[in-house]
A and B are shown apart, each in its own frame.
Chain A
Amino acid sequence: MKSNAHSLKRREPEEKLKGLTFQDLLFKLEEYWARRDCVLQQPYDIEVGAGTMHPETFLRVLGPNPYRVVYAQPSRRPADGRYGENPNRLYKHTQLQVILKPSPSDIQDLYLDSLAAVGINLKEHDIRFEEDNWESPTLGAWGIGWQVLLDGLEITQFTYFQQCGGIDLDPISVELTYGLDRIAAYLQGVDNVFDVCWTKTMKYGQVRLAEERQFSAYSFDYADKKTTEHLFELCEKEAKRLLALYQETPPAARQRFPLLAAYDFCLKCSHYFNILDARGAISVTERAGMIHRVRDIACRTADLWLQQQNPAKAAIARSAS
């Protein structure tokens, strides 16, 4: 009874909230980076496992052009789902993704200032950068960096991208990936992410619990193996068809060729693969094979994308002279 009364009391809107609401945290960070010359983008509208898969990261880090962008990206990790019953693990968590290309020399300070901007007193907390080199085998991407720990809690993945889509990067981009859900829980001092205040009156659980339950159930219990495999293959086929077609397209007609659509199908493959993995439907050997198939599409897309962008650069250079 006691605990019930407690939780009821916490739903009172007038109760003083410790730390920022979930959405204020998002606003503050977006504003912070927007003021530092980042394009404020929107989440990608296809299922992705991480903010890195958004074309605003995957394609923008390729090639020579400077770019800065910030966006939130709800990220689906079917195997991490816990039917909304685990206080920390989510089928879908929210990343805040920042790309700075090229990487500025004061990037660590900029990042730490963003923490101060959301109310973390840097002198009172144990903040450290611990070695953690990030790698995404499905994207042919890897980088060197750290996980940033706040009093022992991983709050950000901080990476100097070295390779993406199998291509060596130059200049180097820095990628900051904030785990918004756990930062919000930390700031508000709650142990269970579903107790996080999304707004002053709505809890994270009220907003998202149904989604967690149903998609966990789908990934673990309901997804049909045959259908999902079929969907994977369909998307793979369409992506490959497009990539092959590009090669046959005369250079003059290539500017409007939908490589972006090919990349979308690559992302879908990755998502269906994740569902199959969560469903326990693939053996370790098959697993490596499927990762390889997705990476193959990602790398070919990256390669062609660079080719496609190059004539444009050449054209600009021509008109400038």
Chain B
Amino acid sequence: MNGRGDLLFEIGCEEIPAGMIAKAAQELKAILARQLSASGLVDEPTVEESIETFGAPRRLVAIAKNVRLRQEDVRREVTGPPKAIAYDNLGEPTRAAMSFAEKQGIPLSKLSVVNTPKGEYLAAKHVIPGKPAAEILAKDLPEAIHEISWPRSMYWTTADSPRFIRPIRWIVALLDSKVVPFTFAGVRSGNRTDAHRFLGKRAVPVTGPRDYESKLKKNFVLCRPAVRRKKIEAELNSLPARKSLRAHADTALLDLVGYLNEYPTAILGNFDPAFLSLPEEILITVMRGHQKYFAVENRSGDLAPHFIAVINLPRDPKGLVRAGHERVLRARFADAQFFWETDQKHRLGEYLPRLAAVTYERRLGSYAEKVERMRVLARWLAEQWFSGGVARADVAGSDRAAELAKCDLVTEMVREFPELQGVVGGLYARAQGEPEEIAWAVYDHYKPLGLDDPLPRNLTGCAVALADKLDSLVACFAVGAIPSGSSDPFALRRAALGIVKIILEKDLPLSLSAAISAASRSLKEHAPRIQASPEIEKQVLEFLLERARYILRERRGFAYDEINAAFAAGADDVGDAVERVSALKAIRNTKNFAPLAASFKRIRNILEKSAGKEGKAQGALQVRRELLREVPELQLHTAAQRIAEEASRLKKEKKYRVALEKISELRPAVDHFFDKVLVMSEDEELRRNRIALLGSLLKEFSTIADFSELGAEESR
């Protein structure tokens, strides 16, 4: 009974939401792998490769190869009393033997004697026969259906029946061509699958993984996502090429339509070129977001009056489907055109008063009030940059862009296409003759939306984007709307990440704490006049620095301790902190630096210990040169003074790398000192002076980075 066979398991559903299928298939694989290795039907080392799962709109499918048709028998031996006790000298079984046999449920005659290191013992051999795989699977497979998790599942008959993402209408469960019988939610497992809704046969019988795919294909279902995707891609390439056009690249959309159709086919449709007078952003949003069409562009990258729809049919011989899609798109474009014209009966700025009726947050007032605060901040930022030497910083322009930034929230276009907020305002501003710089600033001010999203393209846009995000952070923190766990309704983590990303990548001089204070001031001075305490400001700063650490770790490849060391010497100017981290990374493994860093850690330990003992801060202690009696301590003091002077000059010039190299030169003197000098001298005066010497070293040489942080364990 060592046969093996293949398992085919298909959960047949009403249409599963396209975005959830791939993840559910993955989860199903993990569940089955766990079940099959737990039951021993598949050997654990091979379980990953023996199972594959995939999905299509109406099915989740699992195939497991080489499944045992029956579990292996398990043999177990239980030892009982020693033979000497089990049998008397006549060889007759004793009371002990009989009670052992009884306990084991085995007749005396079937007991055996085994040799053990301790001598001969009575033993009972049990064989637990393996169960047929079908019996185990009939219990496990319904469990697997239960276990798949969904964002929002449903009932479809009564509330005492199971939940799933959509109603289950059929189940195929075949092991070695035979049905694994069970019932789930009133559906009996069987050997029949359902094919394409309109073109295929209903209830197609299959025998297992061998004919499953081909029978479905014959009935117009391409069950594998990779096959569907390849077909769509090939057609996306070939269709427009005939007219020397090409489909707008869009991987996310490609994934989506691959899971929206069981037999996807791309068709090329047309629209009235007159609509090309609408901005490209709007046309693409209508095609992509609402209709899931690919936009089509000509060789120079401009939109062409065509689109590609992916339909769930092999062909459209009469052009009926194409005509339908064209008609729908025409109506959508006509709507967009209507919004474009209606909205522009007023200038963008004229929408500002209406923002008073749009709540930003209950306690933080309306968007009109937020805009007032943003304007002050945007101006302040531009002033900072201008006085910091960024000549193109435009104070009045930043103010104007902030004033216009949120106006599009009350336009018809954004009401219809919320994902175009900012973009629509920017387009209107440009169409209405606002300066290019300001129009782009409005357009871009929600950017960056993530780590990989581009930044606002100009400085005014950066000012508005920072003003918006800083205000959100400080204001929300002030009223306690602080992100926790997965709850971050105002997307403050994204805002903080955006702030750090803009400052770092645009290399803008800006003190974070000063920016936070400015936001806090404008929050206090404008309605609804909310006060952010110094404690809150500190929290916001730490929140921002946490994002900065994240970017440096994840995107720039710095190690945890390098970042901590540099940040410990100050990170208010994030750009500067990053330069110090870089210098540190470059030098940390050099011959002199690494041991020196270790010595600094030793110094810190000594100082901490002695501070504990003497209850006194060493910072207050002054080194008294006349007390430096030993040569090594005198040498160290002299070297430190010389190097400190040079390092401080280099630091001022921001030559951090060279400064650190200079500091490395301190190593021999430090080593020599620790070799020859006993810090904890019996003489209190000497001891205190040596501690003062070490304290001054730590203080002098930690302004670029706190070396004693290097090598520390990751604490978060």
Contacts and interface: CB of A to CB of B under 8 A. Distances in A.
Q: Bound pair: A and B?
A: yes
Contacts of A102: 157-158
Interface in A128-150: 128-131, 133, 144, 146, 150
Q: How large is the interface on A (under 10, 10 to 19, 20 to 34, 35 or more residues)?
A: 35 or more
A103 B157 contact: yes
Given A88-B335, A125-B320, A128-B15, A151 B154 contact: no
B334 to A, nearest CB: 7
B294 to A, nearest CB: 13
In the complex, which of the residues A127, A150, A152, A186 has the most CB atoms of chain B within 10 Å of its own CB atom?
A: A152
B330 A151 contact: no
Contact of A87 (B167, B312, B334): B334
Given A86-B338, A283-B359, A129 B324 contact: no
Given A103-B157, A112-B197, A284-B359, A128 B324 contact: no
B681 interface: no
A153 B156 CA distance: 26
A285 B198 contact: no
B362 interface: yes
A186 B327 CA distance: 9
B320 A172 contact: no
Interface string A170-214: 111000000000000010000100000000000000000000000
A124 B323 CA distance: 12
Contact of A146 (B15, B309, B338): B15
Contact of B321 (A88, A112, A151): A151
A122 B198 contact: yes
Interface in A101-125: 102-103, 105, 108, 112, 122-125
A153 B325 CA distance: 7
B311 interface: yes
Contacts of B325: 126, 151-152
A215 interface: no
A263 interface: no
A153 B324 contact: yes
A87 B592 CA distance: 79
Interface in B626-670: none
Interface string B16-48: 011100000000000000000000000000000
Interface in B353-367: 356-359, 362, 366
Given A126-B321, A153-B324, A105 B169 contact: yes
A40 to B, nearest CB: 26
Interface residues of B, number: 49
A160 interface: yes
A278 to B, nearest CB: 13
In the complex, which of the residues B155, B160, B329 has the most CB atoms of chain A within 10 Å of its own CB atom?
A: B155
A37 interface: no
Nearest to B325: A152
A152 B327 CA distance: 9
A238 interface: no
A233 interface: no
Interface string B148-192: 000010111111100000110100000000000000001000000
Nearest to A144: B154
A168 interface: yes
B330 A191 contact: yes
Contacts of B358: 283-284
A126 B324 contact: yes
B613 interface: no
Contact of A151 (B57, B160, B167, B320): B320
B331 interface: yes
Given A125-B324, A144-B166, A284-B358, A88 B197 contact: no
A108 B168 CA distance: 12
A144 B57 CA distance: 16
A162 interface: yes
Nearest to B367: A284
Nearest to A288: B359
A5 B330 CA distance: 23
Interface in B317-371: 318, 320-321, 323-325, 327-331, 334-335, 338, 356-359, 362, 366
Contact of B154 (A126, A128, A162, A171): A162
Contacts of A126: 309, 311-313, 316, 321, 324-325
14 contacts: A86-B334, A103-B167, A105-B167, A105-B169, A123-B199, A126-B321, A130-B18, A151-B327, A152-B324, A152-B328, A153-B327, A170-B158, A172-B159, A283-B357
Interface of B: 14-15, 17-19, 57, 152, 154-160, 166-167, 169, 186, 197-199, 260-261, 291, 309, 311-313, 316, 318, 320-321, 323-325, 327-331, 334-335, 338, 356-359, 362, 366
Given A105-B186, A170-B159, A284-B358, 12 more contacts: A88-B334, A108-B14, A112-B197, A123-B198, A125-B324, A126-B324, A130-B260, A131-B19, A172-B154, A172-B157, A186-B327, A284-B359
Interface of A: 86-89, 102-103, 105, 108, 112, 122-131, 133, 144, 146, 150-153, 160, 162, 168-172, 186, 191, 283-285
Q: 6 closest A-B pairs (Cβ-Cβ)?
A: A151-B324, A131-B17, A170-B159, A283-B357, A129-B15, A126-B311
